[in-house]
Structure 1
Amino acid sequence: MHTTTVRLSGGPATLAYDRTGTGPAVILVHGTAAGRAQWTGLTAELADRYTVVALDYSGSGDTVDHGGPLTLADLAAEVRAVADHAGLDRFHLVGHSLGAVIAAYVAATAPERALSLLMHAGWVRTDTRMDAEFRYWISLLHNDARYNTNSFAQMLPLMAFGPLYWKQVEAEENIAVVNQLTSVIAPGADRQTEVDRSVDLTDMLGRITAPTLVLASAHDRLVPAEQQQQLIASITNAQYAEVDAGHGAPGEDPDGFHAKIIGFLDSRTPHCELATEQAEP
């Protein structure tokens, strides 16, 4: 684990991140209530030919900050600070959910540094229905903290997983998944969800110049298809792909999710660069 510091709007933060592998750089940005451990499997698949950096942004994992409100600009500043500390001048950006929004913000505000952008389950602007959902999350998280319950974790499979999960899972297996989720929910998930509520990239997407893949989930009940269409229309030369899963594709179908990411990254990286890195001892 590596650490670096950055000044946020509410005070300083000490950021934790992992750097693995060699080759062209990829920065992985996790979703709400998760952490850099979300990317362990993908990192293992990429590290033979990419330098993979995965961070805990504020509210997650080993990162420590001022404990107050956060902004989207704060979280994007954390990504840039980690890139600077890791010595990455240019990098591919991969983000899931809120991480996709953060990655897009970085690509829009530092276009000269972004080699490519992959947004999974990202969105343009939080609409009224999404805001209602995020308010519900915050209520569950606060009640769980007050009463030592796990209602938020019980809600997550219902929100995040698609029909394939529910066709295959037994009740006892779902309970085990809920228990596992209970143990890994980020302590600052409520603060991150407040950032979810504030998202508005409307005036920023036109600044993105990096080749972009808008990766949607076919059964995403949180982010509507219209949001994906707006992303494609607003980002120059954006491509579209889909995974047969719900919003939580990283957990529901990691193999399919990883395959889409790896295929895009490899298509954006010259074969000579990958061959050079693979040939090094």
Structure 2
Amino acid sequence: MSAAHPGTVRKGYVPSRFGQLHYVESGAGEPVLLLHQTPRSWTEYRDVLPLIGAGYRAIAMDTVGYGASAKPAGPHSVERFADGVQDLAAALRLDRFHLVGHHTGGVVAVEVAARLRERVLSLTLSATAFVDEEKRGGGHGRVDQVDPRPDGSHLRELWDRRRGFYRPGEEAYLTRYVIDALTVLDRVEEGHEALRRYAMEPRLPHITARTLAFCAPHDHYSLPSLEKFASALGCPTKVLSDGHVAAPEQVPQEFAATVMDWVSLG
């Protein structure tokens, strides 16, 4: 795929052990690979990509099982999601790259950084859950799961499940979420379940990349994890000026600036 003008977006597919993986990129230069939350797709970074692409080769992939990427049978796991990231990096010949993950994508980024070590130039964890014994053992209700009904009322229920994360005027972002969730409706909860099974603590000592953990101020699900990552990794933390679970869409300029500032440190 040839280089293009910053701000333009290019789409592509690469082969993997699971089938084809879909990705979208913008810009040129040092690669910055962005991993989305579940059950989203690359569209979570639609507004962030061209901003980071102004200075870097920004790449947002669809995680294995989501978006337009292959949807293999069998149980999802953080390890399998990370396998897909490794396959995409190999296919795109990303010998060394910066890694960014949001929510579930951040947990996957932890696993990738622990595996690839020095190949990950920097690690940026956005609203990433610190998956410890408390997280694995806590009571968890259904996050996105809805039961299809003949009258279609489950579509409204899907909308309402995340409506509180978005402000009036942000319906376009919520629509993106609904589209992504509908493409995997029969397995929509599995990404969250995979996260809760992940044994994160033994993986953290393997991370060599300098790491930043940040979160939107209204994302009360993830905000408490900042202190835990700071303690475990000795990393700096930051709280954005605004935003909720959908921070990459709600404050794309600040999100992109935070990533680029961290990446630029070398």
* TM-score w.r.t. length of structure 1: 0.79
Query: Residue 191 of structure 1 aligns to which amino acid in structure 2?
Result: E
Aligned residue number for residue 236 of structure 2:
239
User: How far apart, CA to CA, are the structure 2 residues paired with 1:66 and 1:145?
Assistant: 26
User: How far apart, CA to CA, are the structure 1 residues paired with 2:130 and 2:261?
Assistant: 24
**Distance change >3 Å, CA 129–CA 65, structure 1 → 2:** closer
Aligned residue number for residue 118 of structure 1:
124
* Superposition deviation, residue 260 in structure 1: 1.6
Query: Residue 257 of structure 1 aligns to which amino acid in structure 2?
Result: F
User: How far apart, CA to CA, are the structure 1 residues paired with 2:28 and 2:14?
Assistant: 20
Aligned residue number for residue 273 of structure 1:
none
Among 138, 141, 147, which residue is 1:143 paired with?
Answer: 147
The SS at the match of 2:60 is: strand
* Superposition deviation, residue 21 in structure 1: 2.1
* Superposition deviation, residue 56 in structure 1: 0.5
Aligned residue number for residue 195 of structure 2:
196
User: How far apart, CA to CA, are the structure 2 residues paired with 1:145 and 1:75?
Assistant: 30
User: How far apart, CA to CA, are the structure 1 residues paired with 2:176 and 2:209?
Assistant: 36
Higher helix share: 1
* Residue 11 (structure 2) pairs with residue 5 (structure 1): no
* Superposition deviation, residue 116 in structure 1: 0.1
8 Å Cα contact 1:130-1:223 kept in structure 2? no
8 Å Cα contact 2:37-2:104 kept in structure 1? yes
* Residue 57 (structure 2) pairs with residue 57 (structure 1): no
Cα deviation, 1:217-271, whole Å, max 9, x if unaligned, reads: 222222251x2211111114x11111132222123322222222222222x24xx
Aligned residue number for residue 37 of structure 1:
43
User: How far apart, CA to CA, are the structure 2 residues paired with 1:54 and 1:194?
Assistant: 23
Among 90, 98, 102, which residue is 1:92 paired with?
Answer: 98
The SS at the match of 2:189 is: helix
Aligned residue number for residue 85 of structure 2:
79
The SS at the match of 1:37 is: helix
* Residue 35 (structure 2) pairs with residue 24 (structure 1): no
* TM-score w.r.t. length of structure 2: 0.83
Among 177, 182, 200, which residue is 1:181 paired with?
Answer: 177
The SS at the match of 1:212 is: strand
**Distance change >3 Å, CA 146–CA 63, structure 1 → 2:** farther
Query: Residue 245 of structure 2 aligns to which amino acid in structure 1?
Result: H
* Superposition deviation, residue 130 in structure 1: 8.7
**Distance change >3 Å, CA 178–CA 46, structure 1 → 2:** closer
* Residue 76 (structure 2) pairs with residue 70 (structure 1): yes
8 Å Cα contact 2:65-2:72 kept in structure 1? no
User: How far apart, CA to CA, are the structure 2 residues paired with 1:20 and 1:265?
Assistant: 16
**Distance change >3 Å, CA 176–CA 241, structure 1 → 2:** closer
User: How far apart, CA to CA, are the structure 2 residues paired with 1:44 and 1:180?
Assistant: 18
Aligned residue number for residue 258 of structure 2:
260
Supply the RMSD in Å over aligned alpha carbons. Answer: 2.4
Query: Residue 259 of structure 2 aligns to which amino acid in structure 1?
Result: I
User: How far apart, CA to CA, are the structure 2 residues paired with 1:239 and 1:35?
Assistant: 28
Aligned residue number for residue 250 of structure 1:
248
Query: Structure 1 unaligned runs (5+)?
Result: 270-281
The SS at the match of 1:117 is: strand
User: How far apart, CA to CA, are the structure 1 residues paired with 2:137 and 2:215?
Assistant: 16
* Residue 112 (structure 2) pairs with residue 106 (structure 1): yes
Query: Residue 36 of structure 2 aligns to which amino acid in structure 1?
Result: H
Aligned residue number for residue 205 of structure 2:
206
User: How far apart, CA to CA, are the structure 2 residues paired with 1:222 and 1:130?
Assistant: 16
Among 24, 28, 47, which residue is 2:53 paired with?
Answer: 47
